[in-house]
Amino acid sequence: MFKTRLTDMFGVETPICMGGMTGVGYGELVAAVANAGALGFITAHMFPSGDALLEEIEKTKALTDKPFGVNLTLLPSINPIPYDDYREAIIESGVKIVETAGRAPTDHLPRFKENGVKVIHKCTSVRHAVSAVNKGVDVISIDGFECAGHPGEDDVGLVVLLPATVDALPGTPIIASGGMADGRSLVAALALGADGVNMGTRFCATVEAKIHQNVKQAIVDNNELDTVLVGRTLRNTARVAKNAVSVAVAEIQRDPTKTFDDVKALMAGQRGRDNVLRDGDIDGGIWTTGQSQALIHDIPTCADLVRNIMDQAEAVRSKLAG
């Protein structure tokens, strides 16, 4: 058993999280993660309204009696996102764990605190982590440069970023995110001071993930070199899978005079969700994956995955103790 501040705070069996993922974080996967003994998050902004999110939460409750949470990724958008409605749906549902990302959840914290909701905030730098804790978040999930999605602009790997964050926030539980995929990752993160790990790409390659089998197999087949950084010149860096579209975007963005309009059609999120995640066209659009795909060699159920991770972690711990 691995008991940490994370397992104690949230009542989960293992110090493993599956953070919110656009196009992936539906209730069926979250329930499977919860039943496996880990902590999963429904991704709120995939749903058109607070009522639709509440319906997904209730569906998830029917599939598990274990703890799970909801992710709120707070970003500017051309079309208004009903964040306040999401927040109230979470409170009404009785869910007590929220993962936030993007901007600090300052305007949502009072309502969450009034209703006993704990907030995990995802950050990509020590300074932002310290600021978020000062604003009142309960837990920090720190994303290293290896992560899928948005690694920030500082380009600091987790092996430095994690202990630096732990040192800066000794009283705050810290979750290690980026490059985490197996039991070795878990033991290494705990050794560096984390209270748990967040795995995104690893949970995409599971039986219960509602994405096309071609995408899962691509994650298995890919290695640590099969990602591309896009959005660098826009200071909105994202790590995505290497394919025809992402390579084209990166090439266009080597010209500093190019703007988002020059790549907007190629980078459309709906294109990635429909063509790639739903239909299985690996070159059909931009889709996110992390360097941890180099450590992923199978497509297990969530139950088998979590069990295998914990068995490997126990073996590593025993080896070190010996």
3-state secondary structure of 312: helix
The secondary structure of 272-286, three-state, reads: HHHHHHHCCCCCCCC
Residue 53 and residue 152 share a domain: yes
Are 255 and 151 in a shared domain? no
Q: Total structural domains in the chain? A: 2
220 occurs within a structural domain: no
- Domain assignment present for residue 182? The answer is yes
215 falls within a domain: no
318 phi, psi to nearest 5 deg: -65, -40
pLDDT at 234: 87
pTM for this one?
Answer: 0.96
Residue 40 lies inside a defined structural domain of this protein: yes
Coil/strand/helix, residue 314: helix
d(CA 308, CA 205): 14
Handedness of CA 311, 160, 97, 88 (dihedral sign): negative
Same domain, 136 and 204: yes
* Residues 51 and 135 occupy one common structural domain: yes
Dihedral sign (CA 21, 189, 221, 27): negative
Stretch 246-267: mean pLDDT: 93
Contact 36, 307 (CB under 8 A): yes
Sort residue 193 into left (φ over 0), alpha (ψ -120 to 50) or beta. Answer: left
Q: Are residues 52 and 76 in the same domain?
A: yes
Handedness of CA 43, 47, 237, 127 (dihedral sign): negative
CA distance 33 to 43: 14
CATH number, position 60: 3.20.20.70
CA 241 – CA 226 distance, rounded (Å): 6
User: Could you tell me if 129 and 238 lie in one domain?
Assistant: no
Residue 117 domain-assigned (yes or no): yes
If you count DSSP H runs as helices and E runs as strands, how many of each does the chain have, helices first?
14, 10
| C-alpha span between 183 and 274 (Å, rounded) | 33
Q: Is residue 221 part of a domain?
A: no
Minimal CA–CA distance to 240: which of 287, 202, 276? 287
Task: Give me the pLDDT at residue 63, please.
Answer: 98
Residue span of the structural domain in which 245 resides = 227-288
- pLDDT for the residue numbered 78: 72
Write down the pLDDT at residue 322: 85
Do 82 and 150 reside in the same domain of the chain?
A: yes
Q: What is the mean pLDDT of the chain?
A: 96
Residues 260 and 310 in one domain: no
Residues 88-107: what's their mean pLDDT? Answer: 97
Q: Please check whether residues 28 and 98 belong to one and the same domain.
A: yes
Residue 168 covered by a domain: yes
Return d(Cα 310, Cα 322) in angstroms, integer. Answer: 18
Contact predicate 150/229, CB 8 Å: no
- Residues 251, 284 share a domain: yes
Are 81 and 185 found together in one domain? yes
pLDDT tens track for 21-39: 999 999 999 999 999 999 9
Average pLDDT over residues 195-205: 98
The answer to whether residue 27 sits within a structural domain is yes
> Would you state the pLDDT for residue 75?
87
Distance CA 204, CA 212 (A): 10
161 and 41 belong to one structural domain: yes
